[in-house]
Amino acid sequence: MTRAEPTISISDENLIMIVVVIVTVIIIVFILVMIRDYRLYLGNHWKKKFSFTDFVKQEQFYIYILLFFLLLVGSELLLQNEYSF
């Protein structure tokens, strides 16, 4: 007797919700890594004080990676759902 494997069907709404949750977790991890890295930087440069512009300047590598990731995910979602601008 052979059994057929049950197929897993996920609706489009559930799939989009899963993608949103995964992207949100990745964004939170990136933000926490940026904050930790900047705290280490401030610990090594004790004369420096926190400023948002210095934070952006020091963590621009992570910011570019995050923006590129969001661009890829957003464009993939737009292409999958066949939306147009």
- CA–CA distances in Å: residue 72 to residues 44, 67, 78, 79: 35, 9, 10, 10
The string of pLDDT tens digits covering residues 53-81 is 998 998 999 899 989 998 998 888 788 76
Is 17 inside a domain boundary? yes
Give a yes or no: residue 54 inside a domain.
yes
Q: Which of 68, 84, 71, 82 is nearest to 12 (CA)?
A: 82
- Domain assignment present for 60: yes
Q: How many domains does the chain have?
A: 1
Residue 20's pLDDT is what?
85
Candidates 13, 11, 15, 62; CA nearest to 37 is 62
* pLDDT tens, position by position, 2-54: 676 767 777 777 877 888 899 899 999 999 999 999 999 999 988 888 888 99
Does residue 6 belong to any structural domain of this protein? no
Residue 65 structural domain: 12-80
pLDDT at 17: 84
5 lies in a domain? Answer: no
Per the domain annotation, does 1 fall within a domain?
no
Paired tokens of 4:
């057929």
